[in-house]
Chains A and B, each alone.
Chain A
Amino acid sequence: MKTILEVNNVSKKYSLSGINPAYQTLSGSMTNFFRGGKSNEREFWALNDVSFEVKEGDTLGIIGRNGAGKTTLLKIISRITSPTSGRITGKGKVTSLLEVGTGFHLELTGRENIYMNGSILGLKKKEIDAKLEEIVEFSGVEEFIDNPLKFYSSGMQLRLAFSIGAHLEPEILAIDEVLAVGDSLFQQKCIEKMTSIVKSGRTILFVSHNMQALKTICNKAIVLDAGKKVFDGTAEAAVDFYNTEHRLQGQTINLLDLPRGKYAGELIFRELRFATPAFQYGEDIAFTVLLKTVNPSARKDNVIFGANVVDRFGNNIYHISNILTNQPFTHNSDNDEYRFSIKNNLRPGQYRLTLCLTVNDVVQDFFTELINFTVEEGNPYGFSKTEFIQGLVFPGFEIKQIID
């Protein structure tokens, strides 16, 4: 087998400047200029000296915790962002599917959106013309294809978006967990389509938290940890390695580095520790929060935490707070640990956590949907096909027949 993609010593550095790394302002940059170019930038290596190669027809899984550098790696290979150092050589066209439906516009019709999205994904108009019928049929929205997208339900929009993605045929396809969403029947259809793409001999790079899907789809895998490659081998072995090495370690997130809005900031979030990087189905969502005192003279009584669990579609599923139970805390020292535990009946998938901290009714610190966590495959009913169960949560239930 010929090598189709060779990644050599690739690294990527991001600079986190000041409190909001997302962008600079002119005044900030002028201040830096007058300070002699010294800025309060902090560096962060999203990828650190990663090398591997992919043979033609391989399906390579990329495994790692949140922030391990998986998406950055796909972005570099598909040229969305450039590496800080290193070199990549490859053969053929690379298309990345990091998100489905990018460029969809609600005012345009379904058909128009297929052309728009398809060409953003690198298809030529001729190729779209040829596949149009197949895409429309696959999506199951034939009837509405000439109506503006704004009249589609979110499920229909998603199906249309998936269909376009599923009909890409580049030599190298990079996919980032897009299969983890969508209604279950359609998701099944997508996995079948994916499997047929794999069988057609195309080379695929697949990032996923779903170890089951990864084992079925991929033949090889690499494991990333904090930007470094820590394992390279068969998909089975990689999943085993990841499960044993990393599941047990838990996950610590340094919150001081994350961008946050402007709040009082006298007492701020310092660190968040998850017991495990991924929760089993039904396992309590447990995490520990540590704080940092910025202003020692400020009051530290009446400390209230708020936390929301939000799903990928932005549905706010859980909201918890010690104000609901009327249990305000008094912060003694920065060594205090605040342990959260949330009963969990979430459907498997990825979730985001919103965290809020108030002292005496003044908001001190706030993270909106910044921290990701995963609930792994499974359901409480012993049903074999979790993906067929609908609904945002899987409640305990009882259905009884009363015989007359």
Chain B
Amino acid sequence: MNSKDNTFVIDANSRTPLNLKEIWEFRELLYFFAWRDIKVKYKQTFLGVTWAFIQPFLMMLVLNIFFGQMLHFPSETLPYSVFAFTGLIIWNIFSSGTINSSNSMLTNAVIIKKNYFPRIILPLAAVIVSLFDFMVSFILFGGLLIWFRVLPDFFRFIAFFPLAVIIALITTIGTGVIIGAMSIRFRDFRIVMPFLIQLLLFITPVIYPISAISNKTLYYVLALNPMAGAISLARAALTYNPVDWTIIAISGGMAVFIFILGLLVFKKNETLISDLA
């Protein structure tokens, strides 16, 4: 390797744009951070990785008893358990991903202050951890579909479900890096985030279908929350019901907007991170 020809310049007056090439160069570090967090998270626990599906499973049971069996919430032709579980695993990508990535700067402050790497790797690694949890619970999800004999159309599922996950992921990355960068400057975010996420859960159609909203204006306003579109789309992947592409488009557009905004906000604050962390 002849890296001696790699001239580098550090100039206080030039603001470099988001350096994708550099992030690519540090991809192994991204992998190691994610790997470390996954390993450490499950290594010490008695049940290990099983926790990744015990949590949504118990949540689903409780939701099913109260909202499915007792309150008879509508569930778009799906068994309520499957309906709720689909919502939960997509929602969990967002909730755990956002909280973890917004904490990632502070929990790794020691490393940030003593080493250089593109800082955005930390929130990205945190989102990968959430994606891993999602994949584990996806196995249980498969079992659930078999148990309730929900047989989705293969091509519809292959087309819709990954798209739903992608919308959820870019929303999570966008929100995670914004909050991550801001929590370096204002520690308040660390306290307020879990609470905000809880609030958001209620305005996201996790335990109810978005189609249950009869007020048309409110219906479209709710779609501004990208997770609403992501969850609706994930459920649509399991049924043969018609899809309201307007809300998917609104949610998808918002997801892309949040993603780009996140990268811009992060880039703007990146230089401050090691000084303030």
A157 CA / B116 CA spacing, docked (Å): 22
Residues on B with C-beta less than 8 A from A98 are: 114-115
Q: Which of these binds chain B: A82-90, A192-200, A376-384? A: A82-90
Residues on B with C-beta less than 8 A from A112 are: 36, 39
- Is residue B257 within 8 Å, beta carbon to beta carbon, of the partner chain? no
Q: Which of these binds chain A: B62-70, B185-193, B218-226? A: B185-193
Q: Nearest chain A CB to B75's CB is how many angstroms away?
A: 40
- Is residue B77 within 8 Å, beta carbon to beta carbon, of the partner chain? no
Residues on B with C-beta less than 8 A from A81 are: 271, 274-275
Residues on A with C-beta less than 8 A from B249 are: none
In contact, A91 and B4 (Cβ under 8 angstroms): yes
Q: Nearest chain A CB to B86's CB is how many angstroms away?
A: 33
Contact with A along B24-39 (1 / 0, CB 8 A): 0000110010001001
**Given A23-B185, A121-B115, also A107-B10 (CB < 8 A):** no
In contact, A83 and B115 (Cβ under 8 angstroms): no
- Is residue B54 within 8 Å, beta carbon to beta carbon, of the partner chain? no
Number of interface residues of B (CB under 8 A): 37
Number of contacts between A and B (CB, 8 Å)?
115
Contact with B along A82-125 (1 / 0, CB 8 A): 11111111111110101100110101100010011001111011
Number of interface residues of A (CB under 8 A): 48
Residues on A with C-beta less than 8 A from B198 are: none
Residues on A with C-beta less than 8 A from B108 are: 103
User: Which of A25, A76, A78, A105 meets B36, CB within 8 Å?
Assistant: A105
Residues on B with C-beta less than 8 A from A83 are: 10, 12
Q: Which of B227-277 contact A (CB under 8 A)?
A: 271, 274-276
Residues on B with C-beta less than 8 A from A89 are: 7-10
In contact, B28 and A82 (Cβ under 8 angstroms): no
User: Which of B28, B39, B112, B184 meets A124, CB within 8 Å?
Assistant: B28
- Is residue A80 within 8 Å, beta carbon to beta carbon, of the partner chain? yes
A103 CA / B40 CA spacing, docked (Å): 13
Contact with B along A379-392 (1 / 0, CB 8 A): 00000000000000
In contact, A102 and B275 (Cβ under 8 angstroms): no
Q: Nearest chain B CB to A188's CB is how many angstroms away?
A: 25
In contact, A92 and B40 (Cβ under 8 angstroms): no
Residues on A with C-beta less than 8 A from B28 are: 119, 124-125
Q: Nearest chain A CB to B117's CB is how many angstroms away?
A: 7
A90 CA / B3 CA spacing, docked (Å): 12
Q: Nearest chain B CB to A169's CB is how many angstroms away?
A: 11
In contact, A90 and B8 (Cβ under 8 angstroms): yes
* Shortest Cβ distance from A94 into B: residue: B8
Q: Nearest chain B CB to A382's CB is how many angstroms away?
A: 38
* Shortest Cβ distance from A128 into B: residue: B28
Residues on B with C-beta less than 8 A from A90 are: 7-8
User: Which of B6, B13, B39 meets A91, CB within 8 Å?
Assistant: B6
Give me 7 A-to-B residue pairs in the complex whose CB atoms sit less than 8 angstroms apart, sorted by A's number. Answer: A10-B12, A79-B10, A107-B39, A107-B40, A108-B36, A116-B32, A122-B116
Residues of A within 8 A of B (CB): 10-11, 14, 22-27, 29, 75-94, 96, 98-99, 102-103, 105, 107-108, 112, 115-116, 119-122, 124-125, 171
